[in-house]
Every structure is written in C-alpha cells, then in structure tokens.
Amino acid sequence: MTMTSDRPVSLPDDHPRASGAKPTPRVDVAGMSEHLLGRWPEWRRAARERATDPTFWKDESQSMAEHRERVLEQMKLLASEETHQVWLGFPERLGGKDSSGANLAGFEELVAADPSLQIKAGVQWGLFASAILHLGTPEQQDRLLPAAMDLSVPGAFAMTEIGHGSDVASVATTATYDPATQEFVVHTPFRAAWKEFLGNAAVHATAATVFAQLITNGVNHGVHCFYVPVRDPETMEFLPGISGYDDGLKGGLRGVDNGRLAFDQVRVPRADLLARYGAVAADGTYSSIIDSPGRRFFTMLGSLVQGRVSLDGAAVTASKLGLAIAVKYGAERRQFTSSSPVEETVLLDYATHRRRLLPRVAETYASHFAHDRLLDLFDDVFSGEKDTPEQREDLETMAAALKSTSTTFVLETLQECRVACGGAGFMTENRITSLHHDLDVYATFEGDNTVLQQLVAKRLVGDYAKHLKGSTKTPAGLARFVVDQAADAALHRTGLRRFGQAIADVGDPRRAAGHLRDTDTQRELLADRVATMVEDVAMAMRPAQKADPVTAARIFDENQVQLVEAAKAHADLLRWSAFTEALADIEDPGTRRVLTWLRDVFGLTLIERNLAWYLVNGRLSAQRARTVTSYVDRLLDRLRPHAVDLVDAWGYGPEHLRAPIASGLEAERQEEARAYYAAQRASGEAPVSEKSLKKKQR
C-alpha cells in the first residue's frame, strides 16, 4: 500500500492545523481492516484474495463477445473451486452449507474483480438457482439444483418483461394448464410480454426460471415460476417455440449476455411448476399453502430478496474502490501554488477537495455498517433462526431502503471521484469510469430505486397507522427498531421544539456546534425528521382511503414526492444508527475517536443537506443552522491527516484498486521533478523569470 507523507506515523503527532497541542489520534489500519471483515471474515477474506487473481480481472480491451466468454470461464472456475463459495447458500444435502450470510459476504466482493462476473454469477446462483431453491419443493431442488449449482445448466431468470419492469404482478406471460397432457402451456401473447434484460439469455442459458400467470380451470392464480429448458445444450439452438434477441451493447456490464426470451405455446411438464407456494393437481385443481393470492405473491417475491441485499453490498464495495483511488491520488497530487512559493499544494489540502471526497468516505462507512446489519438480518431469516413474517417484512423493507440508497450513492460518488481525479480519472486504466459504467444499472435492476423508496415509504406510513391504532405490537428487527425510535422521537417532539428554542437563545455559535456533535442531538434531529415526515404524509393521504379511484390517485400523486423523501430520510437514519452502534464495538481509542468524527460528519452533512426542512419546521434556529456548515468544514480539516488510513482500512490493496494514479506513481514523478529543479538551482544554471527581473528593475 502507498505510504504517504501526510499519514501520522507516531503518537502523539500534532495535526499541523490544530490550534491546540492536543495529540492527534491514529487509526489502527490493520485492526480496523480486520474488524470491518464482519461476521464471516474467512469467506470475505477468501473472496477478496480471489479478486487479486488476474484470471478474474476485467479485461478492458476485450470485445463484448470475448468478455462474455471470459466471464463464463471465470464462473466455471468458481463452480469448480474446492471451497465452493458460490454454493454456500444452498442446502447441505446438495453440497452447500445452508449459510446465506456467508454466501453473500463473499459474493459481494466479486465486484472488485469484475462487476460483470458479480452480476452474471448473481444471475446463475442468486436468481436462477435461488428461484429453484426458494420456490421449488424438496423434490424439485434435488432434481434441478445440482446442474444449476455446478453450472452444467447455465440459466436465465425470466421475470421482467418489456412492458412490466418493476411491476411483476402484471407480467403478461401465461402458463395455462392442459389436463389432457398434464402440461402447462407457456405463452407470450404480445411483444410487450417478451422477457427482457435477462442475463445469460442472449448466449449461454440452456434453461430459465420463467414467471407467468398460472391459469387452470379458467382461473388466473397469479404469478408463479416455471422451470423451462430454452436451448439444446449440444447445439445451443433455441428449443421449439422459444425465440430470443440479443440486447447487445449496454452502458456497462458488457460481460453479461443480456437478452430477451419469448415463448410460443411452449409445453412444460406439470412437475416443473416450482410448487412450494402453489401446486396444480393432475386434474387441474390448484392448491397453495398460502390462501391469500396477494400474500402468496409477496411471499414468493420476498424469498428472492437476496438480490437486493447483495446489490447493496456490491454498491458499498464499489464506492470504497472509487473513493480509495480518488483519496490516494488526492493525497499525492499537487496543483497550483498556495501557501508555499516552491511547493504546490496537495489536492486534499484544498477545502473544496476535502468537501468533495471526505463526506463520501463517511457516508460509505455508514453504508458499510448498515449493510452489515442487513446481512445479519438476512442470515437470521434465511438460516431459519428468526424466520417470522415480521422479520421477513423488516428484511424486505431494510433491503429496499438500503439498496435504493447505496446504488444511487455509488453513482454520484464514482462521478465525483472521476472529476476529482481530473483527466486521469477519465482514463479507463484508472478504473473509476469502468466501475461507474458497470454499476449504473444497479440503480434500476432488482427493483427501480424510486419504486423501492415508495415501497419503504408505504411501509412506514402503514406502521404509523398501526401505531395510531395502538393494536399491533411487532417484534423488533433492526428496521423496526429504528422506526420505533423515530416514532418515539415523534412523541417527544414538543420537547425537542423547546430544546430548539433554547438553542436559539444561545449567543455563542461554538456552543451550538458542541451540541450538534452530541450523539443524542443528531439522533433526535434525524429521527424526528423521519417521524414528522411520515406523520405529515400519513395525515395528508388519509382522505384517499375513502375517495374514488381518481381522487385517491390525485391525493397519492400530490404526496408522492414527500413519500420518497420520507423513505430517504428513513434510510439515512438507518445508516446513521448503524454507524453509531458500530462505534461501540471499536476497541482502539484512537480509531474510535477518528471514526466518531467521521460519524459526526455523516450526521451533520445529513442535517446540512436537509437544513431547509429543519429551519422551516422550527427544529433548528437560523443561528444554529449557520454553524452546521462551518462545523462540518472543521471536522473535515481534522480528518484530513487520516484520509488515507480511512480508505486503507477498507482492506483493498493495489491488486484490487489496479489504478496507476493510486499506486504512488504520481509522488514518484513529483520527486523526479523536484530533483531536477534542485539540481538546476545548485548548478546555478536556472533561468531567471522575466517577472522577477521586472520587479527588481522597479
């Protein structure tokens, strides 16, 4: 790893800009790095180790066709590994380890090798095989999973249709049961019902898990999943009735062969309806363990939440990679002369540069800790340890909240990293644009972020309504926990208002800043905002319950932007809470101190971002609000010497970053230039500048 001159090397080491003589704490990089590996350190470490093997690296020079084949070969290596990382989530009786959490912990790290590999592997094991696992019966698992697991059957996950992206309940593909032959007839009735954007579909898939409306005896029982062979594995020709289309070039992820599939009266044996949540008897009688069609649908979809969980983790990983590159470069690169007439200023010593990058480092830490909690909850549910309907609902809400936040954040972050590195950031070899292109689609697949945010907001509003009724007491998952906290804060709102008023009367901004650094103050401000927004929206939408559909739609429309804002505020609170809780687990005092500053930066930039809300709603006085920005700036200045340590602690070395600008090359070049000028001055041959001559003449 790069050693930079600005890293504090011993304790105590005064921060050059600190006014007092307080010793600057130091981040224990190795310890923190270990700590951040989380609950399944061995699997995450192994996966990260694998990502240093050039065999798994993205080769930017390849054509789309070559890239697709390379990724398939990489997947074969994953499938043949002795350790079988990609099988971890599958049942022990089939060679897996029934360890959903460990599986994702390792899987997310694939993004450091090549996001195309992460996504194409995700299609195979996280979607196609997982559909068999979660929607199939034990018999179907035994029969169909092994070939999906060992990649002898590459598969597509045929859910999305051209006409219906995030609205899965409305897919138009039909599977009509024919009792005469005991088969389902899978059919695409029109072009909008083509299955679209399916990974593996363009080239490699020989089978697909196809979502279609199950119709039997004239009744549509809603969306179910069918196992459908699509290509002859020998010739790789489409089977009769199947047709396809190669989506071709995309904005990124060119190693994934996305495509369309359509079905023309394709016959599927009755046994290949994945029948865990709905089965059809030989005579066409439908049965299900879940009576309500609505709940059945959401249970089936909910079992596939893994995709969203892993995208959240992958987005956090990509944010780390981008920021590590930009921060390391920013800690070496010099431009323009500022304080010294000889030496140019290091980029991170510019306030604007710190502002661009360091709050994003803080937000990435928050996202990391929140993702860890999400993984916990995911593992609790899918290990069966704490698998209740409420836990599942919490998991889905939290996954939606975090996935929609982190996959938007990563794009803004990579863009900021790109421009923060200037022209060098635009060079493919420096990774940032490549990661940006690949991660772009994460914001809309596995649930469009705006749709997910509405889902979260609806849950929050629903909880609020229950809370009002006082009739429901649900167990506390993490998501619920913080919502409760938010609700609690709402109850004490009057108190908080008085508190705000008290601050308004305090004349000294320094003191107000002291308050803002206070954990409880930050929590109250953030939680109160969620609670108030949810309450406001819930109240505003109340009339919709008894209105005609058109009026109800208008009321919904009028509150939609606020709904989404409430969901964002909720995700912010989730992440802030996770960061705050994580601080307690950090044992090294220096590390904890620096991380606490970083948490303060996160909390305060959230407040700064929504400052108008706090002012308009009387939660902060103008005078106090004025101190937020300057306090953030002071914290960023204080964090400056720790910037490189903070990104190093994420544990990505040169083989993960693979960016020449983050390799120390820049500092080497500067050293060479410095030596040249020193030699020139020593030789007495340095030219005089016209400017200085003119000054002397005056």
Residue number with CB closer to a copy of itself (567 or 582): 567
Is residue 218 close enough to count as binding a copy of itself by CB under 8 A? yes
Q: Are 583 and 592 in contact (CB under 8 A)?
A: yes
Binder among 502, 539, 553, 678 for a copy of itself (CB under 8 A): 553
Is residue 616 close enough to count as binding a copy of itself by CB under 8 A? yes
Q: Are 652 and 644 in contact (CB under 8 A)?
A: no
Residue 304's CB: how many other CB atoms inside 10 A?
20
- CA-closest candidate to residue 126, choices 279, 283, 303, 293: 303
User: Could you tell me the maximum CA-CA distance found in the chain, to the nearest angstrom?
Assistant: 107
Length of the chain in residues, anyone? 698
Residue number with CB closer to a copy of itself (169 or 502): 169
Q: Are 74 and 56 in contact (CB under 8 A)?
A: yes
Residue number with CB closer to a copy of itself (10 or 692): 692
Stretch that binds a copy of itself, among 2-10, 467-475, 525-533, 687-695 (CB under 8 A): 687-695
CB of 675 to a copy of itself, least distance (A): 8
The one-letter amino acid code at 22 reads K
CB of 684 to a copy of itself, least distance (A): 10
Residue number with CB closer to a copy of itself (314 or 377): 314
Q: Please report, as residue ranges, which positions from 260 to 289 form the binding site for a copy of itself (by CB under 8 A).
A: 286
Is residue 583 close enough to count as binding a copy of itself by CB under 8 A? no
Binder among 10, 19, 339, 683 for a copy of itself (CB under 8 A): 339
Stretch that binds a copy of itself, among 132-140, 476-484, 579-587, 618-626 (CB under 8 A): 618-626
Q: Please report, as residue ranges, which positions from 621 to 640 form the binding site for a copy of itself (by CB under 8 A).
A: 622, 625-626, 629, 633
Q: Please report, as residue ranges, which positions from 128 to 147 form the binding site for a copy of itself (by CB under 8 A).
A: none
Q: Please report, as residue ranges, which positions from 317 to 336 form the binding site for a copy of itself (by CB under 8 A).
A: 335-336
Number of residues lying near a copy of itself (CB under 8 A): 112
The dihedral formed by the CA atoms of 484, 362, 659 and 356, expressed in degrees to the nearest 10: 120
CB of 235 to a copy of itself, least distance (A): 26
Residue number with CB closer to a copy of itself (3 or 622): 622
CB of 498 to a copy of itself, least distance (A): 17
Q: Output the six-digit token pair for 30.
A: 């190795």
**3-state SS class at 210:** strand
Binder among 100, 116, 405, 449 for a copy of itself (CB under 8 A): 449
Q: Cis omega before residue 41 (within 30°)?
A: no
Q: Are 500 and 618 in contact (CB under 8 A)?
A: yes
Is residue 189 close enough to count as binding a copy of itself by CB under 8 A? yes
CB of 196 to a copy of itself, least distance (A): 7
Binder among 11, 17, 543, 587 for a copy of itself (CB under 8 A): 17
Binder among 54, 687, 696, 697 for a copy of itself (CB under 8 A): 687
How many Å from the N-terminal Cα to the C-terminal Cα in the chain?
51
Residue 60's CB: how many other CB atoms inside 10 A?
13
Is residue 18 close enough to count as binding a copy of itself by CB under 8 A? no
Stretch that binds a copy of itself, among 84-92, 212-220, 534-542, 649-657 (CB under 8 A): 212-220
Q: Output the six-digit token pair for 183.
A: 């088969």
Is residue 338 close enough to count as binding a copy of itself by CB under 8 A? yes
Binder among 1, 37, 147, 172 for a copy of itself (CB under 8 A): 172
Residue 310's CB: how many other CB atoms inside 10 A?
28
CB of 565 to a copy of itself, least distance (A): 10
CB of 612 to a copy of itself, least distance (A): 4
CB of 600 to a copy of itself, least distance (A): 18
Q: What is the DSSP string of 560-576?
A: HHHHHHHHHHHHHHHHH
CA–CA separation, 93 vs 95, rounded Å? 6
∠ CA(641), CA(516), CA(490), 5° rounding? 135
Binder among 267, 437, 497, 517 for a copy of itself (CB under 8 A): 437
Stretch that binds a copy of itself, among 2-10, 114-122, 143-151, 156-164 (CB under 8 A): 156-164
Buried b (16+ CB within 10 A) or exposed e, 18-36: eeeeeebbbbbbeebeebb
Q: Which residues does the annotation mark as catalytic?
A: 446
- DSSP β-bridge partners for residue 273: 226
- DSSP β-bridge partners for residue 228: 208
CB of 611 to a copy of itself, least distance (A): 4
Q: Please report, as residue ranges, which positions from 452 to 481 form the binding site for a copy of itself (by CB under 8 A).
A: 454
Q: Please report, as residue ranges, which positions from 644 to 673 form the binding site for a copy of itself (by CB under 8 A).
A: 669-670, 672-673
Give the dihedral sign, CA 529/533/536/538.
negative
∠ CA(512), CA(518), CA(521), 5° rounding? 85
Q: Please report, as residue ranges, which positions from 55 to 94 form the binding site for a copy of itself (by CB under 8 A).
A: 60-61, 63
Q: Are 25 and 586 in contact (CB under 8 A)?
A: no
Q: Output the six-digit token pair for 398.
A: 């939290």
Stretch that binds a copy of itself, among 81-89, 364-372, 442-450, 489-497 (CB under 8 A): 442-450
Residue number with CB closer to a copy of itself (297 or 378): 297
CB of 637 to a copy of itself, least distance (A): 8
Buried b (16+ CB within 10 A) or exposed e, 421-454: beebbeeeebbbbbbbbbbbbbbbbbbebbebbb
CA–CA distances in Å: residue 301 to residues 52, 307, 554? 35, 11, 29
